[in-house]
Structure 1
């Protein structure tokens, strides 16, 4: 599952091709206990939104960042400048603050005016989630309003209309947050039809992600609950091989 601060719901559906890129924001705040990190990759010209995470350290996101930046010479230079600092003797040394905190917003320039936005998002005080990672947790994202294309098969607005709701240790908390997010998105909308789909129970336990959908004649909304059982299985097996007992909350 590749899916932060909680951004406000956008008022427009799509980035215009004429919209200039925002300004880099390399500022960060000191870290508090049990902070989890996400990387949001937004590509306006292709209307895509991808979220990587959560992870317990910014450094875990660097491989994704480096891969994306590698296609832009100016972005390579910016990342190199961020990664190192100059000491009192004029030598370049690793920037420990960058290694720990990362950045807030990094713009990757492309060709012919295109660009990719890399945003580092954080949730603080998430002890229950922090202690499960890198095992599976429930990650909730909200998407909408998404506009209909004429055939109703493609729904545009992903880049501008998506946000993270948060990550949760249990399915119950994730489901509650997902339902609240959907209620907020469709509040005041007329003629909305809704449907919810959840993973099946296995061996008496309710596990797996889900998808909440809503639609009217003008738009569509989705709340996605991501959950990767394979990650949990691998972590459990690895712990058992080391003789550790693992209790999972699902």
Structure 2
């Protein structure tokens, strides 16, 4: 365990076991924390976990005390699954999202931040989650969608602690971005040999809705036109892959995480 983590442990416990929590669980964490001894705090916390094993509070505390981040995420996920309506579910989901964000797994991070916003609209973490969901788009160069989401964020939460960062992001995007029209057709060849087709539509609006879904999660997506028997189809493609194995692996993850069907398309050499 790092020294920094040890120093922040008492603060985290104070946050989690405030006056309301102490009254509900009948355990005097305020008195425990007066020792300022991390080992004593951990010992008392472990006693609480054993005594209240399986409760939302115990599961959250166990995850909070876990030294290995990946195991803590598993425990937070377990808590959210078992007790989605508990007072700890939103902060557990927030911590999961930040774990993926810190690792640079922006698609997974954005999915969890958005889940928090949608499932816990009254959470104190909603504005933070909304900002970081947009930040995931920024990190993956999805500047157009990011720009719109940051504007919405500032409109909804003008007093957020991330308002200054959001304004800076908007300024930077203004320099970098190339918004262009809502739909552009490109004849450029994809760099990879394979892509995933996640939709084929006769009407452009349907293709745009499909593209919007993937952009929402920071997934690179494009629309291509194809003429079949004199009729134009709008194909929605996701990703560019060197091998069919890579394409199938990514496609299976889309199906598992988002319920989207796909087919592998071999691009013309």
Specify the TM-score bucket, using the shorter chain as the normaliser: under 0.3
* Bigger Cα Rg: 2
Normalising by structure 1, report the TM-score. 0.24
Task: Point out which structure has higher relative CO (alpha carbons under 8 A, 6+ apart).
Answer: 1
Give 1 or 2: higher strand fraction.
1
Judging by fraction of residues, say which structure has more helix.
Answer: 2
